[in-house]
Structure 1
């Protein structure tokens, strides 16, 4: 699958928390950082997301903010 989104990062699912409607998925990236994604329970089931799955985190946003102290 090809996407127009440029921010694509490979990682491994380390935690899946299934809720009534939303599933929270934690993905460990190659450098050790973790990204958390909230997707619908239905989407998680369709994708077969489970701990140990290799996934691609896709970030598509119209605004990306930075903050400094």
Structure 2
């Protein structure tokens, strides 16, 4: 796969929770977990399941930082 995004984080899927139309896919990156919100249709097409290796591809125009 070739892609223009430079932020590709590969890990293992630890959870897939489908909602009415959108699913939350949690990927463990080796101690940190990132959650992606994607369509249920995409989950089905990609056959996503816990234990699979998957990549979180991040392409964002803004990144926010917050502290307490």
TM-score bracket, shorter-length normalisation: over 0.9
TM-score (norm 2): 0.92
Q: Output the CA distance in 1 between the equivalents of 2:25 and 2:62.
A: 22
Which deviations, in whole Å up to 9, do the C-alpha atoms of 1:32-62 show, x marking residues without a partner? 0000111000001001100001001100001
Q: Which residue of structure 2 lines up, in the alignment, with residue 28 of structure 1? A: 28
- Is the counterpart of residue 50 in structure 1 residue 49 in structure 2? yes
Q: Which residue of structure 2 lines up, in the alignment, with residue 67 of structure 1? A: 66
Give the gaps of 5 or more residues in structure 2. none
Give the gaps of 5 or more residues in structure 1. none
Q: How many residues end up aligned between the 2 structures? A: 68
Runs of 4 or more, structure 1, over 3 Å off, are none
Q: Which residue of structure 2 lines up, in the alignment, with residue 11 of structure 1? A: 11
Q: How big is the shift at 1:4?
A: 0.5
TM-score (norm 1): 0.91
